[in-house]
Structure 1
Amino acid sequence: MANNAHERVVVLDFGGQYAQLIARRVRDLGVYCEIKSYKTDPEELRDCKGILFTGGPNSVYAQDAPLCSKEVFELGIPVLGICYGAQVMAHLLGGTVSSSEVPEFGKTMTQFKNDSPLFQNVGESVCWMSHNDYISQLPEGFTASAWSAHCPAAAMENRERKLYATQFHPEVEHTQQGQQMFHNFLYNICGCAGDWEMKSFAQETIAAIRERVGDKKVLCGLSGGVDSSVAAMLVHKAIGKNLTCIFVDHGLLRKDEGDMVEQVFKKEFDMNIIRVNAADRFFSKLSGVTDPERKRKIIGEEFVRVFEAESEKLGKMDFLCQGTIYPDVVESGTGQAAVIKSHHNVGGLPEDIGFEGLVEPLRDLFKDEVRRVGLELGIPSQLVWRQPFPGPGLAVRIMGEVTPEKVKLLQEADAIFREEVANAGLERSVNQYFAVLTANRSVGVMGDGRTYGVTVALRAVTTTDFMTADWAHLPYDLLGRTSNRIINEVEGVNRVVYDITSKPPATIEFE
């Protein structure tokens, strides 16, 4: 909403898995960046400070290979091609791309030309390679500026035309000096000023919402998650009591979460919030249901019904506020895979609910940027850093039928685990962690007596993008303390296990 006033760098997506990561690296350096399809008309790029090409799974000489227009190179705007993007540049400008006799995958020691504008303050170091093809003949006017044992042109450049390319991936953490390379490209080559910061984003967005909405009314579905909370807060600061939030408490939230959301937004920030305590309604619908997909469908449909019923009581509302964020927008179609999916983050609200427009103040932001805005707005850190949480809540962390008793048990076990992770100072370094109530019962011994109790599983993962994840190597003493506390403090549990499966082959959630 506020990006128009800022200098802009564009990532052209050729179907690479790291498109979002490249954009985040650029934004981390204070420059606004957005992702567009490689098919974008060059005329739409004329106001850019720089253009980056992503990698991709194709070969440039294959039939139907994704290629951008050659006019992109005639705009006089600096371009940085990465991996497949480097090969696109070489291919379109008259160079030759060939199949490698020795493909390079993984960490590769790489040498750099010290006088290259792209590699200032970069010394010999490890880079992340992932390619079967390589640039065997440089286009006219280009020189090699980096090389490895099996790749004579690990990077190439034409300084006069401000065209640069790397065969490796500077955006991934395995490339040791990748962020320095991005810094050099943005500031030394593109001449960026670096005017993208969360403080100015918040101020400009609040002003833009105020101008657009005026004295009309906005309805927001507030889940208490970071996206909906920050979106609601921006709108609240813009229009005050003309915003009404409906908080549907389906009884499947974590321990004390509903009260915390109400306390923060209603009492601390004086927002217009209607809390709908609909737990009985949801438990009744879930009675006897064990299939996870049916659970999800029932909860999603019921959520919509409750939201509709409450919004009808309010009379006419002009706008609907949603916490749509940039990855949602990107996943709706850039590059080749233009898969459109509807991101109604309040449970799939019907399109005919009768609003004149959507207010989506976060649609330009990545998750980490949303958190920074939240802190900037004064939202308490425990809410801003709230763990990712599925829409159906604890229902999909309970194997089998969902009952109030099972939810209470899981809330207690989960709260203990989260408390122990926080006590160990690991709540920011572990990306997601939670407890699951399994369907397993097993024999145990407690107080010289036989027990037949339930098994709680603990899950913790580290990840940068949630597309893949590794199980978190938590300290044994932390796991030991958590297990002891759960068994001693949560009645009915006599066994605690720790899930050490990565994604893939597993998912992060159990159901």
Structure 2
Amino acid sequence: MAQASSNQTGSKVLVFDFGAQYGQLIARRVRDLHVYSEIVPCDITADEVRAMNPAALILSGGPASVYAEDAPTIDPEVLNLGLPVLGFCYGHQTMAAVLGGEVSHSDIGEYGPATIERDRESALFNATPIEQTVWMSHRDSVSRAPEGFVVTSSTDVCPVASMECPERKLYSTQFHPEVRHTEYGQQILSNFLFNICGIEPTWTMDNLVETMSREIREKVGDDRVILALSGGVDSSVVAALGARAIGRQMTCVFINHGLLRKGEPEQVEEVFTKQFDVDFIHVHAEDRYAALLDGVTEPEEKRRIIGTQFWKEFFAVAQQLDGVKYLAQGTIYPDIIESGARKTGGKASTIKSHHNLIPFPEGVHFDLIEPLDHFFKDEVRELGLALGLPEHIVYRQPFPGPGLAIRIIGAVSPEKLEILKNADAIVREELDAYNARLFEATGERNSEHSCWQYFAVLPDIKSVGVMGDERTYQRPVIIRAVESSDAMTADWAKLPYEVLGKISSRIVAEVPGVNRVAYDITSKPPATIEWE
């Protein structure tokens, strides 16, 4: 399903990946303008590009030098397809080198904000000032533009900050229009997409739902699909999409390991049995997990046990179903990028192994359907709303696969689970309300002070307290609340004292077995968001 929306409007933009740290961001900025885009390998052939029928191409930046022995480059015929092309940074230099210009290594680099001065009128710079601030990150630069090109802007350091050949619809900039630090960057992208390429901004979630549903139906035909439904955002959106596309040809298997947050199993079952017409199987595996985790304290061992048992439970159900050919997954764009997979470009460094790799048992195999694998998390949330998923699922916080087992430090027991579920429910209820107040006041769901993720942790200690004039020896609860956008870095949330005070008072008063509440004020790094 990698081409999930490629034929939606016939106005797809391909972003060539040269290993840029901003590669994903380019695709995202294009989508922000309601034009579909996806990342492809930089060494894709001209014939492959032609077969994908894009409306335009963008050449990303990259860390290499165009003259390095193993420098990535493009098929020169790509520039002869008659398609509009826009290059940034390394893409700018590659365009120059391939077409006979010169790229030189400068003694002085440009990193960060720089001021460009436009040398002439240009459709790419329409409605932008003669002087403007842009974001640079280079030492190599184009020293001579190719034949037929004109220089359209420069800086004190960079003689060819941008160049173009309007007759061939080829444009490029040394700077990065996709980053917010380039003050007119989105206007430049808009000029390219709409004025130069003539693309219509028709990529919306509503018509995306129609396209993706049709493509799933065409791929599946009369076969059946199985989905491991965790109740998280990604798998829930795939379930809702499958319900719309193929109805009861999709079986959603919900493995209840007893480690979910309070009320979540009931919410998942209600949504996917009453609101969406899918075949829903609720596997109650709580007792089996409890027996396997009894006495286990090492976090990685907890993860191994929970993950291994999950797939045992899942495939036990799958093998009882007839006619299942496909396994649907909630894989999203950052998962693919972080795994360094070639399907999205192949030049990006591997950050972590793909969290959705499936350990098929011997003799068992399903073809994969990954309808979200070209979408970002907030786009997935928008898609969920368009599909009619309730907000409490669409805006559900990130939750680790092993669930509360890794928010209980030490061995997991029924007593500890009950304490943590009740305390965590209070934390979420109060901070949900806090975020809602900020949203009402600011009109932004992710305002400067809102919490991105928040939960309770139960450490493996007890402490002395006084309750009702009597000594207690009970457990503390630790609150973790962070501000972030992507979980790569995070800062502790600067919550008002009255909010923290109310959470503390409620937990101690309402959760038996707790006599103390602490707040974790450590950023990531050096800490992680989760405790284990």
* TM-score of the pair, normalised by structure 1: 0.90
Match of 2:41 among 37, 41, 59: 37
Deviation digits for residues 426-450 of structure 1, max 9, x if unmatched? 5731433333334465555656666
SS in 1 for 2:297: coil
Deviation digits for residues 12-47 of structure 1, max 9, x if unmatched? 101112211111111221212111111111222233
Which residue number in structure 1 is paired with residue 197 of structure 2?
Answer: 190
Aligned-partner residue type, residue 52 of structure 1: I
The Cα of 1:266 is off from its aligned counterpart by 0.8
Which residue number in structure 2 is paired with residue 299 of structure 1?
Answer: 306
Q: Could you tell me whether the CA contact under 8 Å between 1:399 and 1:439 is conserved in 2? A: yes
| Pair 295,197 (structure 1): closer, same or farther in 2 beyond 3 Å | same
Match of 1:213 among 220, 223, 226: 220
Q: Could you tell me whether the CA contact under 8 Å between 1:439 and 1:455 is conserved in 2? A: no
Which residue number in structure 1 is paired with residue 346 of structure 2?
Answer: 335
Aligned-partner residue type, residue 7 of structure 2: N
Match of 1:494 among 494, 510, 516: 516
After TM superposition, the structure 1 = structure 2 runs for residues 38-77 of structure 1, keeping only pairs within 5 Å, are 38-46=42-50, 47-77=53-83
SS in 2 for 1:494: strand
SS in 2 for 1:62: coil
1:138 aligns with 2:159: no
Any unmatched runs of 5+ in structure 1? none
1:287 aligns with 2:308: no
Segment of structure 1 superposing worse, 265-274 or 290-299 = 265-274
Q: Distance in 1 between matches of 2:469 and 2:113?
A: 55
SS in 2 for 1:4: coil
After TM superposition, the structure 1 = structure 2 runs for residues 251-262 of structure 1, keeping only pairs within 5 Å, are 251-262=258-269
The Cα of 1:340 is off from its aligned counterpart by 12
Which residue number in structure 2 is paired with residue 82 of structure 1?
Answer: 88
Q: Distance in 2 between matches of 1:483 and 1:467?
A: 28
Which residue number in structure 2 is paired with residue 11 of structure 1?
Answer: 15
Q: Could you tell me whether the CA contact under 8 Å between 1:456 and 1:493 is conserved in 2? A: no
Deviation digits for residues 392-434 of structure 1, max 9, x if unmatched? 1122222222223223322233322322232222573143333
Which residue number in structure 1 is paired with residue 442 of structure 2?
Answer: none
Q: Could you tell me whether the CA contact under 8 Å between 2:508 and 2:516 is conserved in 1? A: yes
Which residue number in structure 2 is paired with residue 435 of structure 1?
Answer: 456
Deviation digits for residues 95-144 of structure 1, max 9, x if unmatched? 33333433333333444467321222223444332223333333333333
Q: Distance in 2 between matches of 1:475 and 1:154?
A: 47
Aligned-partner residue type, residue 256 of structure 2: D
Q: Distance in 2 between matches of 1:498 and 1:132?
A: 42
SS in 2 for 1:153: coil
Deviation digits for residues 54-80 of structure 1, max 9, x if unmatched? 121212222211122222222222221
Q: Distance in 2 between matches of 1:413 and 1:126?
A: 49
The Cα of 1:337 is off from its aligned counterpart by 5.0
Q: Distance in 1 between matches of 2:432 and 2:308?
A: 35
Q: Distance in 2 between matches of 1:366 and 1:485?
A: 36
SS in 2 for 1:420: helix
Q: Could you tell me whether the CA contact under 8 Å between 2:217 and 2:245 is conserved in 1? A: yes
Q: Distance in 2 between matches of 1:257 and 1:99?
A: 57
After TM superposition, the structure 1 = structure 2 runs for residues 228-267 of structure 1, keeping only pairs within 5 Å, are 228-267=235-274
Aligned-partner residue type, residue 507 of structure 2: I
Match of 1:272 among 253, 270, 279: 279
The Cα of 1:339 is off from its aligned counterpart by 6.0
Q: Could you tell me whether the CA contact under 8 Å between 1:53 and 1:86 is conserved in 2? A: yes
Q: Could you tell me whether the CA contact under 8 Å between 1:18 and 1:55 is conserved in 2? A: yes
Q: Distance in 2 between matches of 1:307 and 1:260?
A: 20
1:379 aligns with 2:401: no
Match of 1:163 among 166, 170, 179: 170
Deviation digits for residues 234-257 of structure 1, max 9, x if unmatched? 222233223221100111111211
| Pair 304,9 (structure 1): closer, same or farther in 2 beyond 3 Å | same
Report how many residues are paired.
508
Which residue number in structure 2 is paired with residue 106 of structure 1?
Answer: 112
Q: Distance in 1 between matches of 2:28 and 2:164?
A: 24
1:510 aligns with 2:531: yes
Q: Could you tell me whether the CA contact under 8 Å between 2:465 and 2:515 is conserved in 1? A: no
Which residue number in structure 1 is paired with residue 411 of structure 2?
Answer: 401
SS in 1 for 2:96: helix
| Pair 158,341 (structure 1): closer, same or farther in 2 beyond 3 Å | same
Q: Distance in 2 between matches of 1:157 and 1:93?
A: 12
Which residue number in structure 1 is paired with residue 481 of structure 2?
Answer: 459
| Pair 417,126 (structure 1): closer, same or farther in 2 beyond 3 Å | farther
| Pair 481,53 (structure 1): closer, same or farther in 2 beyond 3 Å | farther
Aligned-partner residue type, residue 43 of structure 1: D
SS in 1 for 2:327: strand
Any unmatched runs of 5+ in structure 2? 440-444
Q: Distance in 2 between matches of 1:342 and 1:403?
A: 30
Q: Distance in 1 between matches of 2:472 and 2:117?
A: 64
Q: Could you tell me whether the CA contact under 8 Å between 2:18 and 2:41 is conserved in 1? A: yes
Q: Could you tell me whether the CA contact under 8 Å between 1:8 and 1:33 is conserved in 2? A: yes
Match of 2:98 among 92, 100, 107: 92
Q: Distance in 2 between matches of 1:450 and 1:167?
A: 69
Q: Could you tell me whether the CA contact under 8 Å between 1:56 and 1:84 is conserved in 2? A: yes
- Identity over aligned pairs, percent: 51
| Pair 204,489 (structure 1): closer, same or farther in 2 beyond 3 Å | same
Q: Distance in 1 between matches of 2:24 and 2:458?
A: 34
